[in-house]
Structures are given as structure tokens and as C-alpha cells.
Amino acid sequence: MDKLLRINMSVEGGPNASVDQMGEYAGLAGRALTSAVVAREVPPLAHPLSEDNKLVIAPGMLSGSLAAMSGRMSVGCKSPLTGGIKEANSGGQASQVLARLGYAAIILEGKPRDSDLYRIFINKDGVNIIPDNSLKGLGNYDLVEKMKREYGDKIACISIGQAGEMKMSAASVAFTDMELRPTRHAGRGGVGAVMGAKGVKVIVLDDTGMTARAPKDPEKFKAANRAFVEGLRRHPVTGEGLPAFGTNVLANVINEAGGYPTHNFMWGRFLGVSKISGETEAETEVARGGVATHGCHRGCTIQCSGIYMDKDGHYLSKQPEYETVWAHGANCGIDDLDAIAMLDRLDDDFGLDTIEMGATIGVAMEAGLARFGDAEAAIRLIREVGKGTPLGRILGNGAAVTGKVFGVERVPVVKGQALPAYDPRAIQGMGVTYATSTMGADHTAGYAVTANVLKVGGYVDPLKAEGQIELSRNLQIATAAIDATGMCLFIAFAVLDQPQTFQALLDLLNSFYGLELTGDDVTALGKKILTMERDFNKRAGFTRQQDRLPEFFRKELLPPHNSVFQVSDEDLDRVFNW
């Protein structure tokens, strides 16, 4: 993993691939690499769909090795949704495969001179870029089936559906899972639209003939991996809760706390929560012959995913995760798990971000396009997006655009990106991260709960009034660093509670690369990433005014606790003071 694969789509006579050395990017991977390339090589004022934007697809530091949980892939560009820098990441098989092929990143550059659509095949022998207009208009599922017929089932695919082809701002990039289904998505920020603008429908990876990346110190690496896996298995979240119920296990708890946004962030509790909770979802999956404990890539030991069957026992979708169930469920007043799984399937097929689309349908419902709770109407609206009707084009460009077109005041977005499944009026600290993240409203930006181990930015007394700002800052730093490693963010729970598991993570990195990293180095990496991203956004025209929540979160009381977002603007402006 010591080279960059640059594919220039603008070249006269057809796209051209070239292999570049890492140069100044040496040592970077995952989000650190995608953000470094975008910050250095993309003009901040470029139109996101123009030839000047670049789409960077980068595995993590340990991807392609035998390290557990190391299969996350980062996708970076200037976002068509936010207008700022973007890193969206995903599970699936592609990260491991691309890393084994030796590439630290694929960088799609330029823009085709014609309207052809391309597929790219990469294996140990090189890169083949083929115009293939027969792929036009295919959903991700049919597309992957077609690639499977052509290349066999030992491949991994990176693709876009119809939404990406239509360059919609809610379009995702899909990654195939272990069953070769396009169920894992770099969802946020419209990264699929940028891939569509590059004219690339699918990248097929085949690592046949390649072996796992070898560590510098195999014995230490093996021992560290064993300790790391033991730590994950020992912890009640990564060893029990997530495998049993998946991420949607949070639904009941957040609902009880009054922070489960319902009916487009009108209330903090959803009456139908028990019908769509993780507990009910897991029970339904098992009863129908599906799977409630499943990994999204080889080497996953947490297994927070699953397989959802319809009433007749046929595959419908992967287990819809917490954010998806909330977005298409409570946020739209829908308490029908089968309808939510169908919406998840359609999002995956069309290549759409489930959070953005759930929030968008919620805004559309508030505008009167459908009644809250009407699952059939929600499915119809998503189908409009897939077909690319005029209404679908509006919806497919996200909640902010939809709110503007239909005159809705209550639009839950920051920097144009929809808020995820936690109401910031009930959980104020999450509101700080939503407001100030470089990515727009993003729950994962401050997800890694490692701050008290890393002591990033100094230890914070949780009882101090100003604790929320410092905690959000520390969490964003820690998250940026973990995103660079390519490790699943869910490892953070075990790392938080078990210092020896955090040490095992450092040992994995050190034994693999022959380094002597400490917690301070990890902190420095996180700060470096955020600094690059903030600088890009500043050059793209962002000011402190973009680091704010929508006004209604300060004005409207959220039942049942009747709270509003109380963190001052002055405090929000302190988040990145380090």
C-alpha cells in the first residue's frame, strides 16, 4: 500500500490511469489521506461537480492486513451537499481488497469529454478502464449482479446507482459486503454525485493472487491482534450488545431519554418505538430465517449487522441500522419495520444516503407532500428519486433543497447536511459536534469515545460548565484519528473502558509499521486532520456562521423535557481553539 492510483477522466482519447508515488502523503491513510489530497489538490472554490474536484478512495492504515476490524474505507472530495470538505466512510470488502492490491488510494480526477459511462477493473496485472453505456440507469443490485456474471464472485465493487448518475447531492458510493451485495455505503455529503460527475459507474476490484499485507514484526503484531480481539469480545458493548441487537439497540434508550427525533424533530419520543427497536428487529430477523449477528467485512469480530428477510422469508435488505431505522421510521412517523427495510433496500439500490433521505422525507411530510406515518407514500417518494422525476430530483438533493423548494422553515441541517438521530435539545453535547464538525451535521464526527484515555486537549472535569465544548473538541480529534486508521469506530467502546485494549490498538499500528506511536501521536494526527479540513472550509468561504444549528433548535421546546439548545455561539466558536 505504497502507491496512489490516479485515474484522469479528462484525457484526450479516453481516461488514463497512472501510478504515483506517495511523496508528501507517505504515512497517511484513510481520512488523513483523503483530506490531505483534497485540501492540497482541489481548489476550494471549485464547483463540486467540476473537473477540478477529485474523488479520493482510501483504505485505512491497517486495511488489507490480518488486523481485526480494519476494513473501513474513506471517500473524500469537495462535497456537493455542504460545499466544504467531505470524508464519508464505509464498511464492506473493498477496503481490504484495494489495500492488498497495494494501493493507498484511487484518485479520480478530471471529467470525461463525452457522455460515456465507464467501468474500471483493477487486479494484480493493472487497470482497465472501459466505456460501458449498458450500465446506464442500473441500480446497484443489478449492476453488481452484472459484474459478478462478468468477473466472477471473488470481486469487490465500488459503485453508484441512479442517484449518483443524476449527480444528486444525497447520492452515496456503494461497497459490496461479504455476500457481494451493495449494502455498505459511504453515504454522507453526496460523494456518489462526484463519482457520477467523473463518469465512473463502477470500480471492480479483484485481489486474486495477492496476499495479506505483512507486518514488520509478525510476532508482536499477532500478539497485539489477539489482545485487541480479546478486549473487544470481553466488553459488554462490542462483545454482547452490538452482536445481539445491532446498532438499533439504541432506539429504545434514546427514545426513553426524550432525544429520539420524531415527526421531523417535532418531539423527542416516538409512540411506535417498540415496533422498530433493535430488540424487535433482531427477533423479526431470526423468526424469518434471517441473521441478527453478522459482519460487514471479513475480519469483523463485533458483527453488529444482520440480514433482513421479508414476510415470505426472502432476502430484502441488510439489517437496517439505527440511523436508517430512525430516519425512515420515527422521523417520518413510520412504525412498520418491513416498510423501513424496503426503504433501506431502495436507498441502497438507487445509491442514496439513508439519513439524508429520511430527513428529506420528513421535511416533505411537513410540507404536506405526504402524511406522517404513511409508509406507502414514503416508498413512493423514494421511487420518484430513483426514476429522476422532477419531484425526485428535488428530494434527491436533500433536506435543505427540499425545504427551500416547498417553503419549510423547520429544516434540520447544518452546512446543508441533515442531522442524524439524536435531538441536540436533549443531548446538548451532540449539538456542539453537529454545529461545528467540518463535515456538516455528523454523528460520527464526535463518536469515538476515547478522549479520556487519550487525554486529548487535556483532561476535562465533566462537572465544569464548559465541559461540553471541550468534550466535543476532544471527541472530534479522536474520531479523526480513528478514521485514519481504517478501524471501525465501534472499537472505541472497548478502547474507552479498557486501557489495555487501547494499548493493543497502538501495538497493532506500531508492530505493523515498525513505529513507536504513543497516544500523543494519535492526538496530533487527529488535530492535523481537523486543521486541514477547517482550513479548506475557510478557503471555500465558510465562516463561524456555518457553525450553527438551525434557529428552531433554540426556539422550539422539545417534549417531553421541554428543553432547547442552550450552548452559546461564543462557546461554539471556541471548539477549535487549541
User: Among residues 22, 24, 99, which one has the least CA distance to residue 62?
Assistant: 99
Q: Which of 228, 265, 447, 512 binds another protein (CB under 8 A)?
A: 447
Which residue type is seen at 39?
Answer: A
User: Which residue, 467 or 514, has its beta carbon nearer to another protein?
Assistant: 467
Interaction pattern, residues 480-509, with another protein; x per rule: CB under 8 A? ----------x--x--x-------------
The single-letter DSSP state of residue 212 is P
Number of H helices, E strands in the chain: 25, 17
Distance CA 318, CA 271 (A): 25
Instruction: For residue 552, give every residue at least 6 positions away whose Cβ sits within 8 Å of its Cβ, in sequence order, or none.
Output: 265, 409, 410
For cell 456474471, the residue is 149
User: Which residue, 169 or 354, has its beta carbon nearer to another protein?
Assistant: 354
Shortest distance in whole angstroms from residue 178 CB to another protein? 21
User: Which residue, 34 or 472, has its beta carbon nearer to another protein?
Assistant: 472
- Measured in whole angstroms, the distance separating CA 523 from the mean position of its chain's CA atoms is 22
Shortest distance in whole angstroms from residue 218 CB to another protein? 32
Interface with another protein in residues 523-562 (CB under 8 A): 560-561
Helix (H) or strand (E) holding 502: helix 499-513
Instruction: Tell me: does residue 76 bind another protein (CB under 8 A).
Output: no
Q: How many residues bind another protein (CB under 8 A)?
A: 56
Question: Using an 8 Å Cβ cutoff, are 156 and 145 in contact?
Answer: no
Q: Which of 80, 278, 295, 519 binds another protein (CB under 8 A)?
A: 278
Burial class from Cβ neighbours inside 10 Å (0-12, 13-18, 19+) for residue 545 reads exposed
Distance CA 171, CA 360 (A): 13
Distance CA 158, CA 361 (A): 27
Ranges of H-type helices in 60-122: 94-100
Q: Which of 430, 435, 482, 487 binds another protein (CB under 8 A)?
A: 430
Q: Which of 443, 527, 528, 548 binds another protein (CB under 8 A)?
A: 443
Interaction pattern, residues 224-263, with another protein; x per rule: CB under 8 A? -----------xxxx-xxx-xx-x-xx-xxx-xxxx----
User: Which residue, 205 or 449, has its beta carbon nearer to another protein?
Assistant: 449
Instruction: Tell me: does residue 94 bind another protein (CB under 8 A).
Output: no
User: Which residue, 159 or 450, has its beta carbon nearer to another protein?
Assistant: 450
User: Which residue, 366 or 497, has its beta carbon nearer to another protein?
Assistant: 497
- Measured in whole angstroms, the distance separating CA 412 from the mean position of its chain's CA atoms is 18
Distance CA 328, CA 373 (A): 10
Interaction pattern, residues 289-318, with another protein; x per rule: CB under 8 A? ---------------x--------------
Distance CA 226, CA 297 (A): 18
Q: Footprint of another protein on this chain (CB under 8 A)?
A: 235-238, 240-242, 244-245, 247, 249-250, 252-254, 256-259, 269, 274, 277-280, 283, 287, 304, 422, 425-430, 443, 446-449, 452, 462-464, 467-468, 471-472, 475, 490, 493, 496, 560-561, 563, 566
